[in-house]
Structures are given as C-alpha cells and as structure tokens.
C-alpha cells in the first residue's frame, strides 16, 4: 500500500524553492567552468555539437557534453535535438564573454569563494572570531580582479570620476593620489595611464596582490605609480594627498573608523575620498526586496565578515549600508558626503567625501 504524505501548500512551494536553489548553486560552478575553459567564448562563436565544441575548445568531449547538458537544462543555451547542436544567444553572450562591463561570468567564482572555507566558517560560528585574509590566498586577488576589471576598464575614467566634482581637472593638472586596499592595483594603473601628470601610490597588505600589481605596471610601462605593502592606517606616513581612492575596501577592514580617520588626516585641505562600496541600506527591511541582497549577505558570511572579524573588531559586513557609511565618514572628519549609484553596476554605489 502506497504511503501518502499530506503537505501544506506552502511546504510544497518552499520545497520547490529549495530544489531550485540547489540547482542554481550547481549552475554557478558550471558558469565558472565555462568561463575558465573558454567554452562560453566557443559557444558565442558559432553553434555546434558537443564533439565540435570540444574540438574547437581543445577539451575532452565527454565532459563538454555533460557541461552542455547542464547549461541547456538551465535554459542558458539552446539545444536543437534534430541537429544535436548547442547555441548561445548573442544577447546572452554579452553577459558571459568579451570585454563588456556587463560580462558577469566572474561573479560565479565570487559566489563560490566561501565553499572551500566551510569548516573554518563552522568553527567561527561556534567559537566566534574570523578567518585571516591570508587563508583566502592566492585565489582571492585574481577573483576580485576578474570580477571588476572590465567594468573599471570601460567606466572608471569616463563615467565614475566625473561624479566627483573637480576631481578630473585636478588629476589632469597633476595630483598626488593614494589607492588604498588596491589589490591588483588595476584601478591605480588605469588612473596613472589616463593622468600622466599625476602620481599614484598603491597600498595593500597582501604580497600576492602586489606581485600582480607590479607585474601589470611593468607591462604597461608606468613610471608614475609606486606600490607599497602596508596597513591602510599607515597612509598618513605617505601623504599629503589630493585624493584617496578606496574600491571595495572599507567594509572588509577590521577597524574602518581608524582607517577613515587616517585617510582624512592624510588629505590636503579640500582633498577628497572617492570610494566604491556595495549598494545596500543599513536596515535589513529595506534590503529584502533587493535582488542582489542574497548575494551581498551571502558573500559577507563567506568572506567579508570573517576577514574583518579575524582581528576581533568591527565586522561591518558587505551590506553595512549607505546610512551607516555616511555617519561613519562624517564622524571621521569628512563632510558633504555624496552617494551616487555606480553606472552599469546595480550592486555598488560611489562615495565622494571631502575633508573638513
């Protein structure tokens, strides 16, 4: 006799939601594999069978076939059963291939960044504390670089900087600028190339990131950039500066207040802080309708929060929010704090804060 289990409608709906969630979680890895193997680029070129796509990509057909089946089941690629061919719509290819700022393939690697640290995260949940940044090396700097590089290539100079009134003329004339928590320093190098009369100091505490930075600076032939390994709080030793840049750095700091006070002291009178941070409210209820909120809070649990709490301090979290950021900047010596939506990035805002 068959056993019949009665479930409430909400239970059935939620069970389906969980199944969809687990399917999407596996899809993140498929997207990442497609990016790192070049399969997305191959599919964007022209349709093909699994054998043809494997040959063009110089990969093993059996794995390629299974991967194609997964992304077809997800509805990302189309499958023609008569010809047994797979194809990627050009409008979708923009989000997975090429140099467009809308190429989001690297987001899959960021979504998975906490998976290898599950045992350490469990320990932190039970005992408190955090996970040192060094535990995420050497993988994290290249992931962060890949996630943001194309967007900054296309938008940093023409779209982001003009939001800070007076900054571009100052850079053209010749300014001294620090880029704090610079990572691979790709943002620093873009600025140095665009504004050769200005000089730039890129500061980060991770030697792996600075190795990437110095290699790119040499490849570009830049002579107006210096790279220094140091804590952000030491920025006052290298000033004064006309402007300080901080891209996705403040919320990861163990003591953001101390860092921002140091930044304010390092600026010349009238100098400005130009910072990019996640776009969120400091109030949870205002984020619940935000499609990117799950990503921001999940990334916070996986990386940002444990890195900050590794030294037992602030633990702002990725979604610390615009209201709290404005208050903190005011308290640390800045005034006229402006907040601008970041062009072509629904998950980020840009802060322009001027020294009192």
Residue 199: the pLDDT is 98
- Is the model's pLDDT at 1 over the cut of 60? no
Band (4; pLDDT cuts 50, 70, 90): confident
Band (2; pLDDT cuts 50, 70, 90): low
Band (145; pLDDT cuts 50, 70, 90): confident
Distance from C-alpha of 251 to C-alpha of 351, rounded to nearest angstrom: 13
Total residue length of the chain: 356
Burial 128-145 (b: 16+ CB within 10 A, else e): eebbebeebeeebbbbbb
> Which of 3.90.226.30, 2.30.110.10, 1.10.10.60, 1.10.10.10 would CATH assign to domain 9-98?
1.10.10.10
Band (267; pLDDT cuts 50, 70, 90): very high
Superfamily holding 115-355: Vaccinia Virus protein VP39 (3.40.50.150)
- Is the model's pLDDT at 86 over the cut of 70? yes
* C-alpha distance from residue 54 to each of 26, 48, 82, 84, 257 (Å): 21, 9, 19, 14, 52
Instruction: Please give the share of the chain, as a percent, with pLDDT higher than 90.
Output: 82
- Is the model's pLDDT at 167 over the cut of 70? yes
Alpha-helix residue ranges (DSSP H) falling in 38-117: 39-45, 50-57, 61-73, 90-93, 107-111
- pTM beyond cutoff 0.85: yes
Give the pLDDT confidence of 275-299 residue by residue, as tens digits.
Answer: 999 999 999 999 998 889 999 999 9
The reply to whether domains 9-98 and 115-355 share a CATH topology is: no
Q: Which residues pair with 355 in a beta bridge?
A: 334
Between helix 207-220 and helix 140-155 the angle, nearest 10°, is 40
* C-alpha distance from residue 128 to each of 120, 163, 282, 333 (Å): 11, 40, 23, 32
Residue 291: the pLDDT is 82
Band (141; pLDDT cuts 50, 70, 90): confident
Q: Is the pLDDT higher at 102 or at 241?
A: 241
Mean pLDDT of the 197-203 span: 98
Distance from C-alpha of 30 to C-alpha of 198, rounded to nearest angstrom: 43
Alpha-helix residue ranges (DSSP H) falling in 156-272: 167-173, 186-194, 207-220, 256-266
Mean pLDDT of the 194-211 span: 94
In which order are the strands placed within the sheet that holds 348-355? 225-229, 199-204, 176-180, 241-247, 267-278, 348-355, 334-341
- What SS3 state is found at 46? coil
Domain residue extents for the chain: 9-98, 115-355
Strand 199-204 to strand 225-229: parallel, antiparallel, or no bridges (unpaired)?
parallel
Omega before 240 within 30 of 0, i.e. cis: yes
């Amino acid at each position: 006799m068959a056993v019949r289990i009665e479930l409430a409608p909400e239970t059935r709906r939620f069970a389906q939601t969980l199944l969809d969630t687990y399917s999407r979680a596996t899809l993140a890895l498929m997207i990442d594999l497609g990016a790192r193997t070049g399969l997305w680029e191959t599919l964007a070129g022209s349709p093909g069978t699994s054998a043809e796509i494997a040959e063009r990509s110089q990969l093993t057909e059996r794995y390629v076939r299974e991967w194609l089946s997964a992304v077809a089941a997800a509805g990302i690629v189309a499958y023609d059963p008569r010809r047994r061919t797979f194809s990627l719509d050009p409008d979708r290819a923009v989000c997975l291939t090429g140099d467009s700022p809308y190429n989001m393939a690297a987001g899959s690697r960021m979504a998975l960044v906490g998976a290898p640290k599950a045992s350490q995260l469990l320990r932190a949940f039970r005992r408190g504390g955090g996970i040192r940044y060094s535990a995420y090396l050497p993988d994290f700097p290249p992931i962060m670089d890949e996630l943001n590089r194309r967007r900054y290539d296309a938008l940093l100079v023409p779209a982001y900087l003009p939001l800070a009134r007076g900054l571009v003329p100052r850079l053209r004339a010749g300014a001294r600028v620090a880029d704090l928590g610079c990572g691979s320093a790709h943002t620093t190098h873009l600025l140095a190339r665009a504004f050769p009369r200005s000089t730039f100091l890129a500061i980060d505490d991770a030697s792996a990131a600075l190795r990437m930075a110095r290699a790119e600076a040499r490849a570009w032939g830049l002579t107006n950039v210096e790279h220094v390994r140091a804590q952000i709080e030491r920025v006052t030793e290298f000033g004064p500066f006309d402007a300080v840049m901080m891209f996705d750095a403040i919320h990861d700091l163990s003591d953001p207040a101390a860092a921002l006070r140091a930044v304010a002291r390092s600026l010349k009178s009238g100098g400005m802080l130009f910072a990019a941070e996640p776009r969120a409210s400091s109030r949870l209820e205002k984020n619940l309708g935000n499609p990117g909120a799950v990503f921001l809070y999940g990334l916070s649990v996986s990386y940002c929060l444990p890195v900050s709490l590794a030294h037992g301090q602030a633990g702002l979290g990725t979604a610390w929010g615009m209201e709290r950021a404005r208050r903190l900047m005011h308290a640390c010596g800045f005034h006229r704090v402006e907040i601008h939506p970041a062009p072509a990035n629904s998950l980020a805002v840009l802060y322009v804060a001027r020294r009192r």
